[in-house]
């Protein structure tokens, strides 16, 4: 029997953290090099890559409903590949539960997609969940060869996690902490800028654990990498995410006060305001240690916008311990934050801890937590009104003549006037809503 015709069109869908989005882009570039074109919006695709997240139960379950929805009216399906963290954690289960899936590929193995595709075309079902992260980066095509970059681009600099928080699957799905070499990162950043990027967000599960050697062989941390990238004339803004409190070095804090291109925004998850819960989570920092750290960051960069992650209903969390989280939120005044109900993940220590919290209790705590975070987000936006700042224009808005972009503090800003995607324009922030601000375009400034 002859193999079916080679797939011509593909579509990818990424769930989860920004690193999955980055991986999705790299897979797209890889497939483009194989001659596949992106299927048009709404059109059927020959190959579909579901790039998945395993962090919470709901995220993982979504994969199966998505696979089901790919079935066409005549009962056939496209070639389906499941990539990402669910593929890594549950590859065998996916193959057993979803016969229409032809390929399962882990987050450190997707450079092998072309060979896997060739095998899948012969009717085989193929799985690759190998782990060495650097092999992938060494084998992928160079960035920007097949596609333009958007104004704001992601660049994965670090992968994996050695922290083993007791609730979290990431150390198992992404593997051990590894840093990509400095020269590779400078090269990739240069290519992104040449392809149109004005802002680069450095990504890692613990991005501030990045360590390497600069061009002269000196040991540097993330701050050294940021300082080197800031020397690139056409790169205008640098961000990084997600950081861990324990890896927030003095050098990185200082960089916030000294490197103009490093944006005044810090996403620093804390998870809980209770020391007992933090210990049970194996977070290895206290609530007070976290607050003192933020004081030092604010001393270096007084206008810094802070963001965090929170989990409510960790096993054994009492009402009083939850109240400590609310107190911490009051003390910080976050510009924005993410909050989640605890989700027991198979294989993690917390999943079998005593004192699992009832769903209704978690719902109620999450509502109170989010009310506090929403209040602070609106207050932060309201306090920005009247400020003059730069906005990186990322796209057109819903209304005619409207532009959308980001302030230095990562707020969504919309305005009307003479601008173009990819420009950095000067505005005055005029009106604040909970999720965005309206701004007035100022006369073009020398830039």
CB-CB contact of 19 with 51 (8 Å): no
Identity of the residue, 127 or 243, whose beta carbon is nearer to ligand SAH in the bound complex? 243
Minimal distance in Å, beta carbon 109 to ligand SF4?
20
Stretch that binds ligand F3S, among 11-19, 33-41, 273-281, 366-374 (CB under 6 A): 11-19
Terminal Cα distance for the chain, rounded? 63
Residue 411 binding target from ligand SF4, ligand F3S, ligand SAH, none, CB below 5 to 8 Å by type: none
Stretch that binds ligand SAH, among 88-96, 108-116, 189-197, 340-348 (CB under 6 A): 340-348
Residues 150-189 that bind ligand SAH (CB under 6 A): 161, 167-168, 170
Q: Of the candidates 144, 260, 264, which has an alpha carbon nearest to the alpha carbon of residue 193?
A: 144
Identity of the residue, 357 or 439, whose beta carbon is nearer to ligand SAH in the bound complex? 357
Minimal distance in Å, beta carbon 296 to ligand SAH?
18
Rounded Cα distance between 299 and 412, Å, is 25
Residues 300-329 that bind ligand SAH (CB under 6 A): 309, 311
Q: Binding to ligand SAH by residue 137, rule CB under 6 A?
A: no
Q: Which two tokens stand for residue 99?
A: 């016969």
Residue 173 binding target from ligand SF4, ligand F3S, ligand SAH, none, CB below 5 to 8 Å by type: ligand F3S
For the stretch 58-63, contacts whose Cβ atoms lie closer than 8 Å and that sit 24 or more positions apart, written own/partner, are 58/343, 59/15, 59/16, 59/86, 60/86, 60/89, 60/90, 62/15, 63/15, 63/94
Minimal distance in Å, beta carbon 343 to ligand SAH?
4
Q: Binding to ligand SF4 by residue 102, rule CB under 6 A?
A: no
Stretch that binds ligand F3S, among 51-59, 75-83, 130-138, 229-237 (CB under 6 A): 51-59
Stretch that binds ligand SAH, among 29-37, 152-160, 339-347, 353-361 (CB under 6 A): 339-347
Rounded Cα distance between 40 and 44, Å, is 8
Segments in 34-121 forming alpha helices (H): 57-69, 84-97, 113-121
Q: Binding to ligand SF4 by residue 164, rule CB under 6 A?
A: yes
Rounded Cα distance between 447 and 441, Å, is 15
Minimal distance in Å, beta carbon 6 to ligand SAH?
37
Rounded Cα distance between 35 and 49, Å, is 16
């Amino acid at each position: 029997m002859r193999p079916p015709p080679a797939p011509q069109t593909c579509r990818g869908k990424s769930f989860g953290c920004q690193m999955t989005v980055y991986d999705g882009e790299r897979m797209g570039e890889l497939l483009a090099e194989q001659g596949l074109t992106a299927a048009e919006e709404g059109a059927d695709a020959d190959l579909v890559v579901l790039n998945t997240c395993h962090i919470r139960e709901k995220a993982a379950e979504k994969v199966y409903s998505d696979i089901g929805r790919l079935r066409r009216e005549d009962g056939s399906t496209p070639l389906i590949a499941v990539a990402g963290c669910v593929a890594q954690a549950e590859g065998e289960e996916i193959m057993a539960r979803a016969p229409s899936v032809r390929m399962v590929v882990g987050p450190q193995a997707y450079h092998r997609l072309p060979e896997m595709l060739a095998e899948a075309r012969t009717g085989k079902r193929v799985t690759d969940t190998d782990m060495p992260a650097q092999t992938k980066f060494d084998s992928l095509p160079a960035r920007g060869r097949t596609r333009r970059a958007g104004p704001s681009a992601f660049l994965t600099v670090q992968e994996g996690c050695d922290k083993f928080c007791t609730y979290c699957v990431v150390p198992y799905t992404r593997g051990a902490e590894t840093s990509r070499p400095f020269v590779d990162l400078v090269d990739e950043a240069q290519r992104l800028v040449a392809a149109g990027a004005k802002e680069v967000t450095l990504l890692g599960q613990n991005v501030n654990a990045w360590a390497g050697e600069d061009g002269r062989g000196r040991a540097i941390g993330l701050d050294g990498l940021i300082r080197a990238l800031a020397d690139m004339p056409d790169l205008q803004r640098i961000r990084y995410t997600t950081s861990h409190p324990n890896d927030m070095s003095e050098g990185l804090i200082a960089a916030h006060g000294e490197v103009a291109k490093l944006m005044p925004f810090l996403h620093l998850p804390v998870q809980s305001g209770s020391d007992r819960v933090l210990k049970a989570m194996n977070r290895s920092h206290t609530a007070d240690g976290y607050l003192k750290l933020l004081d030092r960051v604010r001393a270096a960069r007084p206008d810094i916008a802070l963001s965090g992650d929170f989990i409510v209903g960790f096993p054994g969390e009492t009402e009083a311990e939850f109240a400590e989280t609310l107190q911490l939120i009051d003390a910080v005044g976050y510009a924005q934050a993410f909050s989640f109900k605890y989700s027991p993940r198979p294989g993690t220590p917390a999943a079998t801890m005593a004192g699992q919290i009832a769903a209704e209790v978690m719902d109620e705590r999450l509502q109170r937590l989010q009310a506090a975070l929403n209040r602070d987000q609106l207050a932060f936006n309201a306090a920005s009104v009247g400020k003059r700042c730069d906005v990186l224009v990322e796209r057109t808005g819903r209304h005619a003549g409207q532009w959308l972009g980001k302030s230095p503090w990562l707020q969504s800003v919309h305005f009307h006037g003479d601008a173009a995607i990819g420009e950095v324009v000067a505005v005055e922030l005029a009106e604040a809503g909970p999720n965005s601000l309206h701004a007035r375009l100022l006369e073009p400034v020398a830039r």
